[in-house]
Structure 1
């Protein structure tokens, strides 16, 4: 595998081969991961990604990065606003409530973030003892041998136009194709604005000062804090704040119609014609005779460019020992790359640790593709459903949609169900096929719900898979600890009896002396009062009994991607 760096810095002293004409050949490493394009030595300042969903939040929490990424507020309600009148303050026909922990991850549905901050934090946890980041490098050729003597696996995470898929695997019949019958493909323009809040000193003639508005109130009037899906039949759009509140960043995305050119539609004069009607309020709103527009000189545009949103996936995600991940494997919704990486990483660790030269990697990587394909189908269904609601243009369909949503929300229980969106039914259960790494007859393939615990004792666990025990009462502790005494032998020392976490719903005082690696389930009130909720959303709709109700097992083995390998009730099983 050849890398051409723009500057001659070493790849990794223990992994470096000969250095000839700025070409370095890596001789003895396990996995090379090729990122997107010419990786810059400095973190990009362009905040492309602006939101993390509950899965992404959970993965960052697992890396210990939650405190560093969290931006003091979740993204709140996602309001679907109907009509062509360009009014962001119009009452939504539907508001999805992402302040709650109604899903299965124990988090609010979305949090805003700045991608540069996320990249900085993730680079800092890339410890040099197990990985080496090489910037300003690109792949110019790939060659595979049969002896596994150079690199065990190569992961192409370099996008749909990167070298790995486009220039290497495409010739081996790995191609992008339509994914599912519900095919979706649109071009949008995404713009980021950096807002400077006007003041009476900087803009003395701004009309709202005379009505008693403060600069902060003006900012809220023109840039509401919560996300809006603008179901405008003339041109659907999405907008909302992101990043830290102090950053005053705003994202606006609008669709490109058939026959329009995305780059033309991203030009400043066209962008202004589309976006500024939303930032120009009718004078009657403030009992004024003239419209009120947010000062244009308070807006800086660091980003405005088209992007394609398409439901395409490669027919294969791996060929021999070359693997595709993220946009290189599929062009699909946000956070899919997160899920690809977390579910691929432990498989690569397994292959490198236990069977680095066996042919089983074909079946292991095929099963990874099959599992991820099932999750992509669920994501696509949600994406298509939201897209239909936002992009509908037929007047009769719009009329039926709006009045149907208004009518069913008259019933409080139905309204609450709608506000939760897909999150209440988001517990993924894989459909088993041969080679998938879980036991379907023992509840395997279920996404493990997350709850929070009060800890009595904390231990680090080093095994790749995790075994834990779930009990309703501490009176069951003795028989369970006795049953675990031989777990070292049964698991070939993968698990150690002293390190098995035991999760309890209730613990009696007389049993506290028997505890070892014991965690007690926290109630919603305890969770709300813990440091985990400092300056963060309170756990609305948090269910502390998710594990008992959904997993229905006492002994549970979990994979690193939070999917259950197997669970059972009795010691024999």
Structure 2
């Protein structure tokens, strides 16, 4: 019998994200995936907001340009993307204080391939494909999973945890947890239920050689300009009159891939999905005017249909559901096994990434507690479930906002709201006023009852992401520097004057509170100053937010609204210590040594002093 720590069923984005996160924390896992190869069909195409940040935390940042592209705006139209949008949301500004794109439109098979490559060299994870799970039983503190391998031979694995990351129809929930624990997906807060036809298209722009009679050549158009005209950049939502739709580019721009989805709520199996696609799409690919609204002298022009390859076109049922319970003892659900969303907000893969990142450090911590009781385990996991349920609600509300604009169009209330906001932003004092979504992002879990943070010490918020530098080092994303090493949390010491003193106080507080090495250790202390500091003590790395001028000189792309001071924007100027979880949420803040000892003690008590 094989033995590991965590058994993950399903090698989709959520399962792979968990395996990578566990591997970074030196927790062993085995992934069982029933498919022999990566499914060669882009399903989810969007990673949004903080999930983009998680991609970099997983080590995927260097691959993102090869598997995705950042689109500059989201557009809401009536009827067709040929019509000017009635509302446009810019995607480039750093509105979420994370220094990275707001959304990436990716090719899912390439994303999964990149994630598997990230795991390939790890000694802490093994991926087994062509394996079908057939049974599960719990033997005391361990789970035994039965499965058949690629040759159909029965095998089994023993582990401490079983993670169902095998999708909304996966065996872990449907066959094991529903019958025994009553765990099922129930209707979420976004009451939506509809059928849409979803298509993936490969576009090959015409050229004067392949289509010599195409009329726009005489008007001076290049193939690239033709592509941009008929397949406009950005992502597009269309509302009635006509069928609601969602469409736009995905994958790297040179891949020329286009997602087109249209509502078909009266769907029946006698309908032809491709016929419905062409009926909806071709009027949008027929134009009388150029990009500036001037009529073509050559008359109405249609994009050549033989330049469009339909790679997939079929109906999908869209709804929002979430599990009524996230775990049962040592069996836990993440990703689509736990929740599903309509596609209007790009929250499917994103929420699975959040599940994984926020679960991984907890599993590592529980593995390090040698005498932990069932009540302690459940308390730690229930805090995760509370936070995840709240996060899913936030994602559902964002999806609902886009979905209402897409399905019902502009309303008087929304027209009034956006025009008031537009007028306010004309006033210089309010020009950089944060939008409601960024305020929700900054608030983090502070309103969640039962979350794993200290309300007494102002915890629960999310730490912003900036670029940090130290003496003689190149700028790096702060997450790469502040992420824990072999611990669940980082202790951030903010030095007002003397960095060495700040570090000494942090070490002394750890020693006094006697917190376990798996939670916070001396190696997990990071010293940060608010201003550039270039003469730190020997052997002590002192980090500071890299000034914008220094970033420009280093060739770093700086997003509109980016500020190096964002790192300190979500707590008071008197804060001297931050206990930071591995998922970059704040456990607690302290303004002095005594408060730091109290905050560490609070953290220790939440684990019932079970840390050795």
Same fold (TM over 0.5): yes
CA distance in 1, matches of 2:487, 2:402: 40
2:226 corresponds to which residue?
218
Please state whether the residue corresponding to 1:143 is helix, strand or coil.
strand
Please state whether the residue corresponding to 1:545 is helix, strand or coil.
helix
Normalised by the size of structure 2, how large is the TM-score?
A: 0.80
Please state whether the residue corresponding to 1:502 is helix, strand or coil.
strand
Q: CA RMSD in A?
A: 2.8
Is the contact made by 1:282 and 1:291 (CA closer than 8 Å) also made in structure 2?
yes
Is residue 555 from structure 1 mapped to residue 577 from structure 2 by the alignment? yes
CA distance in 2, matches of 1:410, 1:528: 32
2:393 corresponds to which residue?
377
Please state whether the residue corresponding to 2:237 is helix, strand or coil.
strand
1:203 corresponds to which residue?
211
CA distance in 2, matches of 1:417, 1:411: 10
Is residue 108 from structure 1 mapped to residue 101 from structure 2 by the alignment? yes
Please state whether the residue corresponding to 1:307 is helix, strand or coil.
strand
1:544 corresponds to which residue?
564
The 5 Å alignment of 1:85-484 reads 86=80, 88-126=81-119, 127-148=121-142, 150-172=158-180, 173-180=182-189, 182-257=190-265, 259-261=266-268, 267-282=273-288, 286-288=295-297, 290-332=299-341, 333-334=347-348, 335-355=350-370, 358-359=373-374, 360-392=376-408, 398=411, 401-402=414-415, 405=418, 409-413=422-426, 422-431=437-446, 436-456=451-471, 461-471=485-495, 473=496, 475-484=497-506
Is the contact made by 1:148 and 1:357 (CA closer than 8 Å) also made in structure 2?
no
Rate the CA distance shift 1:357–1:521 in 2: closer, same or farther, 3 A.
closer
Is residue 46 from structure 1 mapped to residue 41 from structure 2 by the alignment? yes
Which stretch of the first structure deviates more once superposed, 499-508 or 438-447? 499-508
Rate the CA distance shift 1:479–1:317 in 2: closer, same or farther, 3 A.
same
Is residue 506 from structure 1 mapped to residue 499 from structure 2 by the alignment? no
Please state whether the residue corresponding to 1:273 is helix, strand or coil.
helix
CA distance in 2, matches of 1:196, 1:264: 31
Is the contact made by 2:387 and 2:448 (CA closer than 8 Å) also made in structure 1?
no
Rate the CA distance shift 1:408–1:498 in 2: closer, same or farther, 3 A.
closer
Aligned length: 532
CA distance in 1, matches of 2:418, 2:271: 33
CA distance in 2, matches of 1:281, 1:308: 32
Is the contact made by 1:189 and 1:255 (CA closer than 8 Å) also made in structure 2?
yes
Q: Report deviation, 1:498.
A: 5.9
Describe the superposition over 1:169-196 as per-residue Cα deviations: whole angstroms up to 9, x where unpaired.
111211221123x422333222111111
Is the contact made by 2:239 and 2:406 (CA closer than 8 Å) also made in structure 1?
yes
Please state whether the residue corresponding to 1:450 is helix, strand or coil.
coil
1:523 corresponds to which residue?
547
CA distance in 1, matches of 2:254, 2:355: 32
Which stretch of the first structure deviates more once superposed, 475-484 or 552-561? 475-484
Describe the superposition over 1:473-502 as per-residue Cα deviations: whole angstroms up to 9, x where unpaired.
4x2324313313435534344545465211
Is the contact made by 1:487 and 1:497 (CA closer than 8 Å) also made in structure 2?
no
CA distance in 1, matches of 2:45, 2:548: 29
Gaps of 5+ in 2: 13-31, 144-157, 342-346, 474-480, 596-612
2:604 corresponds to which residue?
none
Is the contact made by 2:73 and 2:92 (CA closer than 8 Å) also made in structure 1?
yes
Q: Report deviation, 1:293.
A: 0.9
CA distance in 2, matches of 1:204, 1:406: 46
Q: Report deviation, 1:550.
A: 0.4
Is the contact made by 1:432 and 1:440 (CA closer than 8 Å) also made in structure 2?
no
Is residue 29 from structure 1 mapped to residue 23 from structure 2 by the alignment? no
Normalised by the size of structure 1, how large is the TM-score?
A: 0.85
